[in-house]
Structure 1
Amino acid sequence: MSELLAQIAECIEFGKINKAAPFPPQMKGQDGADELTKQAIEEGVIAQDILTEGLMVGMQKVGVKFRENKVFVPQVLMSAKAMSTAMVHLKPFFLSGEVKQKGTFIIGTVEGDLHDIGKNLVSMMVEGNGWKVVDLGTDVKAEQFVAAMKEHENAFVGLSALLTTTMVNMEKITKAIKEELPNAKVAVGGAPVTADFCAKIGADAYSADPQGLVEYLNSQVA
């Protein structure tokens, strides 16, 4: 059984979606995350174990490699696609409550900014590590973040920006969230964002890469 979970983790790590997928070349013709997850469920593996000992292990390895510049965005996207394919088989177990998620993470690119690649990468990494992700999209205003946080109690929130001109809106949004929900935890990230900027605007966490954010979120619920 642990061998099957290790195979699932490997499919996620290397982005092997299904048997038909040509990528990665070294796994050509082998079953992918799709077939193996289905097989694990049919063989009676607990869905929670598939998530924590299969999918999450693979995503964590990709996250660390990405941080260390050993893999790049296309590889991470393939891993995320493999994970999403596997998650389809687990969805019924999430809905029934049999699989527990760690918490809820709300994310959006801030008002005035339409860039979403970084945000999407973060969403995929966080979801792949066992969190429910609520993606508000791009050009998200303060009131939209606040409304989402009121709808999802005790959720964490992430603000993304790619431009120095839109980065300033992070301060306005963080203040609005803190005024309405003083205990809210706000994480910020994006190319121009720094730890100093995070401290200056009163946000709670900054990470230069998705894996750092995952580690911060996990530390908050440990």
Structure 2
Amino acid sequence: MSKTKEATAVAERGLPQQTGVAGPVSPPRVSARRRRPGVIALSLGLIAAGGAGVAVLLLQVGHRTDVVTVVRDVQVGQVLTEQDLGKASISLDPAVKAVTADHLDQVVGKRAAVELRPGSLLAPSQVTADSLVKAGEQLVPIGLKPEQIPATALVPGQKVELVHVPAQGETETDKPSDGGPKTLAGRVVKASAAAPGTGVVVVDVATSATDGPTAAAWVSSGTLRLVLAAPDGH
């Protein structure tokens, strides 16, 4: 059957006539987004700033300082030796005051102004070139019971008054003219930790050489009391 006759037969039967093979379908056009130079510049700036911040942080973390450390117990007033001290390299906060390792020779030979513990950093305020017991002074150890210990911590250099409190029935023959108890001026050199069981604290007090024997006698008789002096010493 010829193509003409076949088309005529299809038309007579009411079937749709194929007009040909469909061609390829073109994809929809997608318009490219317009780039904004300002946004690109801002992005590059943020990336650069972030990189700089990370670099500064890494430099800060990596920066270490050589400092002087304490390697064994040092008592108040003890002269520091090279065997008492060591060195360590740490990331040091600017708020922390520590003796740097290049100043080690400047602290050797000085005295400990406070009690030093192993593993701690050495601060400039913890050493002194002065003797804690000066010329013309004597050191008097005073034992204080728990109820006699001030709530304020006793620290080296703190000024105190040694007060004579006569025993019951005893009269004080050398009372001051104002009628008050006799007192002697002193200065704390060291205060021990409370003794286990008794809680007694021993305080080393520096007083004048003329007052030292009197203070020792008061301690021996149990008639001495320690009172904190005013900050200005009066």
Range class of TM-score, shorter chain = under 0.3
TM-score, L = length of structure 2: 0.24
By percentage of residues, which structure has more strand? 2
By percentage of residues, which structure has more helix? 1
TM-score, L = length of structure 1: 0.25
